[in-house]
């Protein structure tokens, strides 16, 4: 690249004359260094925009070319008696090498056109002489708009400054008809302060580089604050929906300690491991729903049963915690009290993953409920169920009474009280209920009423139809009777079925 323009452009290098890389970094020194680096970056942008105009790429092809150009640039700056290590302090040669991830995957002017189209606000507002204040302001606004489009296309807010610099290079090298070295481009687009010989107009121009850089920084700050707000709001809503009060426990390292109003405790995993001797097999009780159960002794001596869940239908920790809160509110003599729970994230930085879940119950010393509900084959209750000679279907029993005209016998005596009682139930209503029940349990499914019709019958809106006879089993003695297949089977005329008859 031809860098002789550095000697031709009357740029104000006063800030860089006070530049001392070895000076102690106080506030004023840091400000001077930053302003000097920004000035020589803008000045170097003139060469890059000319390179873009002549060759199409926004950046240099490789590291060797970048290093060579920066060395030549330093020699030009040294002719102004500036520091010999000015460029090496301000720039990294890699920052000027072409790469696809700088801004919206743009590398050449053709990529720019493919991404934004042939005409943007930059093409119309930055074409004229920018020494005019109004024209410069319009170009500045256009640069902001194009920068926003590039950041949106890129999808990464951290590339905002790089996208802005591409907009500067494109406006100076491609759009403006006076060229990158013109006074208007140098003072307005690159934001360089020119010496007074150029005129007072440059002093009143707001530096495009500083202005757009400030705007880019402001956008980044606002975006960061907005993201932080959304993240905090999401966390707050999740905690509010769970109805829990969280106290962060740094020692646990994965989940906060839970103290809901229900009295349940959010146990620490190390406490559960200590209680069960690290879930030793000697403390293994059995397998329950969704996982394994271990016996444990807490630090206060309380004996508990700890279920380690390995198969869960819960989609996330929020749903799991909601269920824990609901269950911990349930109090019944036949329910084992839920003492607490524990959730451990596989990824300690994740708020949603929680594959290791534990439930802590009071230990039941009389054995598990399954043994009582489903005992072994030698259990006396099961023997009685299997050997009972008078098993009976209540629908068959009620059917036989109805067909015999003895509906009243199907009613419990407590349902028919004296007429003087305020709680008495009319006999007709109760008999209607029995008839509706018989009809709904009819062996012929096609003859059963719909739920809507059944409700209307119960409420008395429609009459209960005559109940059709039930077909008897093939080979039943009734088939050898008088030929009336719809007569009542002797089996159904009494309240009990003879042993050996098939139940329907």
Confirm if 59 and 166 have CB atoms less than 8 A apart: no
**Closest to 503 (Cα-Cα) out of 401, 419, 427, 399:** 399
* CA dist list (Å): 129 to 50, 104, 404, 412: 18, 29, 111, 104
Q: Please say whether the beta carbons of 73 and 84 come within 8 A.
A: no
Place of tokens 């705007």: 215
Give the integer Cα–Cα distance in Å for 448 and 435.
Answer: 12
| The two structure tokens encoding residue 467 | 């109940």
Show the tokens assigned to 170: 């494109």
Residue of 291, 273, 302 whose CA lies nearest to 362: 302
Q: Which residues in 297-334 are b (16+ Cβ under 10 Å) and which e?
A: ebeeeeebbbbbbeeeebeebbebbeebbeebeeeeee
Question: Which is nearest to 63 in space by CA: 88, 92, 21, 34?
Answer: 92
Task: Give the total residue count for the chain.
Answer: 504
Annotated binding site for ATP: 307
Binding residues: 307
Q: CB–CB of 361/338 below 8 Å?
A: yes
Find out whether 355 and 343 touch, Cβ atoms under 8 Å.
no
Q: Quick check: helix, strand or coil at residue 504?
A: coil
The two beta strands, 246-247 and 265-266, are unpaired
């Amino acid at each position: 690249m031809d860098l002789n323009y550095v000697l031709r452009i009357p740029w104000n290098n006063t800030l860089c004359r006070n530049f001392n890389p070895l000076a102690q970094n106080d506030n004023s020194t840091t400000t001077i260094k930053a302003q000097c680096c920004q000035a020589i970056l803008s000045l170097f942008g003139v060469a890059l925009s000319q390179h873009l105009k002549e060759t199409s790429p926004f950046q240099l092809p490789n590291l060797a070319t970048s290093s060579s150009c920066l060395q030549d640039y330093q020699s030009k700056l040294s002719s102004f008696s500036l520091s010999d290590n000015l460029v090496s302090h301000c720039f990294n040669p890699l920052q000027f090498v072409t790469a696809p991830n700088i801004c919206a995957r743009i590398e050449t002017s053709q990529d720019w056109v493919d991404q934004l189209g042939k005409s943007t606000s930059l093409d119309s507002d930055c074409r004229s002489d920018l020494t005019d204040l109004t024209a410069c302001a319009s170009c500045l606004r256009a640069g902001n708009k194009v920068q926003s489009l590039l950041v949106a296309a890129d999808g990464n807010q951290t590339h905002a400054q790089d996208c802005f610099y591409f907009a500067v290079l494109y406006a100076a090298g491609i759009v403006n008809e006076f060229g990158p070295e013109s006074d208007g481009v140098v003072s307005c687009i690159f934001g360089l302060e020119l010496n007074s010989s150029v005129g007072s107009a440059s002093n009143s121009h707001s530096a495009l580089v500083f202005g757009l850089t400030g705007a880019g920084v402001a956008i980044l700050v606002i975006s960061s604050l907005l993201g932080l707000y959304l993240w905090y709001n999401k966390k707050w809503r999740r905690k509010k929906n769970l109805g829990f009060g969280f106290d962060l426990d740094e020692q646990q390292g994965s989940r906060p300690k839970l103290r809901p109003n229900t009295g349940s405790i959010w146990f620490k995993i190390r406490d559960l491991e200590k209680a069960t001797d690290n879930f030793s097999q000697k403390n293994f009780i059995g397998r329950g729903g969704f996982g394994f159960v271990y016996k444990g002794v807490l630090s206060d001596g309380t004996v508990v049963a700890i279920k380690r869940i390995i198969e869960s239908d819960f989609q996330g920790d929020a749903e799991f915690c909601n269920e824990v809160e609901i269950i911990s509110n349930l109090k019944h003599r036949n329910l084992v009290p839920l003492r607490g729970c524990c959730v451990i994230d596989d990824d300690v930085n994740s708020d949603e993953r929680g594959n290791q879940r534990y439930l802590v119950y009071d230990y039941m010393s009389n054995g598990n409920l399954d043994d009582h509900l489903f005992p072994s084959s030698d259990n006396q209750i099961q023997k009685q169920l299997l050997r009972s000679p008078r098993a009976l279907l209540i629908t068959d029993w009620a059917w036989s009474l109805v067909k015999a005209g003895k509906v009243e016998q199907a009613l419990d005596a407590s349902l028919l009280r004296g007429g003087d009682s305020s709680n008495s139930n009319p006999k007709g209503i109760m008999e209607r209920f029995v008839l509706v029940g018989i009809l709904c349990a009819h062996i012929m499914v096609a003859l059963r009423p719909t739920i809507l019709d059944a409700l209307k019958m119960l409420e008395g809106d429609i009459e209960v139809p005559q109940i059709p006879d039930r077909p008897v089993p093939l080979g039943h003695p009734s088939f050898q009777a008088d030929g009336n297949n719809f007569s009542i089977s002797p089996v159904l005329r009494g309240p009990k079925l003879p042993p050996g008859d098939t139940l329907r």
